[in-house]
Structure 1
Amino acid sequence: PVLGSLYGSRFLTGGLGGSITHQCFYSITPANKYDRKYWCKIAETGVCYTIISSSGYTSEEYVGRVSLQDVPQNGTFAVTMTGLQSSDTGRYRCGIGPTTGGLYVSLNLTVLAEASVSRPLQLIQGELHGSATVLCPSGDTQGGGKRFWCKVGRTSCTLIADSDGYVGRRHLGRVFITPRDSSGAFKVLINDLVKEDSGLYRCGIERLNGWDSSQEVVLRVATASALPRRPKFLSGTFGGSLSFKCHHDPKSSYEEKSLCRWEGGSCSLLLDTNGFVHESYKGRLQMGSSDPEHGTYTVVLSQLRLEDAGWYWCRAKSGHTEHTSSVKLHIQ
């Protein structure tokens, strides 16, 4: 039996005479690893006619211009079609098992006269209770537009967070869309990952003319290697002090560690290892001991005020990726 989930792009664009590669990501179960993988085209009757499968079959009219590569240990298989013709425009499926009744993802392929290339799907691997960094290229450096992060469903993309301050209820305190850098790109940082976070997403920038420049992302949360569940909530007493541990990967080296205050989807820097301390926290916030071997550093906050209540994020930066964790502080 086919078990688990299958993810892939819902839209592909290729240029006449060019090529496309479609990647399908599947749950790494014994059944899925060894079962038949296929690529088929949906006819007007609704029947999906197999073009190529991992069992060695290739449809006569596609011989020489289609290939399928399965990498079971990564839970991915890719289909490449070359020499694209306008008649290749249509609806396709990539699937596992029998062509009818198995697990599949449907998509639209559009072949255009001018070659416009679809961005390759980005695969992000995360661990249960861990964190993930998604890189969102902008496509341009021009002007504004709202940055967004949404989860792709059967018919639409459900908004999870945007740069105007919207954050969905289930993601409060655990998703942050960074400001754009000089190239126009930005990051989506997510922590306290749960199994249900696995899926297909889009991040991008909404344009005033209604178009958006977006990147498709598959987030896969590995449940086999869960990180320890850490306390999400801390209590402090007005006027008192408290310390909490920030966690990161002991196997990585980080050029910068910091603490920021999460509010309405943005995170204001309070403290970092370069010596910065936010004006309203001077004299009462500091980094304590660091234990790189176990991947922890301690943050101490004293002279607690009522307005200190809220979400705090620990951030450890290594190149483009960040290890983040969040904690909510209550003051009584």
Structure 2
Amino acid sequence: MKIIWTFTLLMIPGVVSSIEVTGYSGGGVKISCKYDERYKGNEKYFCKGQRSDCTYQINTNEKNKWVDSGRFSLYDNTSSAVFTVTIRNLRKWDSGMYYCGAEKIISYSSTEVNLKVITDQPIVRGYSGGNVIINFKYETQEETPLIFICKSGECFPVINTNRASEWKHDRRFSVHEGRSAGLLRVFIRELNENDSGEYMITVKVSEDHSLFSEFSLNIEKDDCVKSISLSADAGGSVNISCKYPQSHSSDVKFLCWRSGADLCAEETSVNESRRWRREGKIQLYDDREERLLTGSISHVTEQHSEYWCGVQSDGGHKSFITRVLINLTETSPPPSRPSHKPTTDVGTTENQVFCMVIT
């Protein structure tokens, strides 16, 4: 995921202001610096290093037009006394201390910017017929920040009018804003190839402060079963088995159930091979050599009849690949606990094999 954070900084003569900025490798950041109107005619600069030895990354006397210098761009808006610096294609070594200012020499009226670049961000991929959840970390003190989801220039707003965390829905998009954790989750359901493209998540904190997150979503076709139906007695148990590609053997696998608008009300995950993991009424076993995830669900009820299996990437993004529907029956032989190497007879209802794929 590419992250662009936009900040507006106020430079007060005689006072050193500073800010912490986090960007992601391959993404970019935008930093807007306000200056005193008496400096409108001065050269604007953005440099890296300590105050006594700061190397210009970009500097210009141009007004009201973008000026480029490699991966750096600067725009001096003299009407508002603000100049904006953009850094594109961030790299790990871009981390460090920077200064932006409106004087020809670095003085105590400049603004200190501490940039940290996080590397190894995952690519978001989904598969036709499945779903994805994309996470975006942010911080805001605003009571009702305005959130936009955009694709190819088409945007729709999602507004949370209270401090309670809840899902907001628009067509196949859902957004969950958890302010206590500073986490925005975007859920896209029923994926198809037309969903591929460039996306942007914007959190407008105030008139001059917004956070941006850009990511590319690639939707691919696969031969996996998108939905399976199993049968079980009310209060009984049911077993499932999931085959996955070798390229995802080291990823975290999960199984969760859906409750109303809550897209994943309770989840059990496993990130170790050949070791049972139990949480609540779900237990999972991942055999990475066989590329097989085995699960057992106990105490099945009508309220807990829809489950999803999927994979979680390093960045926390989740792909829900196969929906598991459990039909309650009056009589059904009780399933035994799945063995460490369960059978893969797709003709039975107790042991179905399906596929999960994500990067």
Q: Give the structure with the higher percent helix.
A: 1
Q: Structure 1 or 2: larger strand share?
A: 2
Structure showing greater Rg: 2
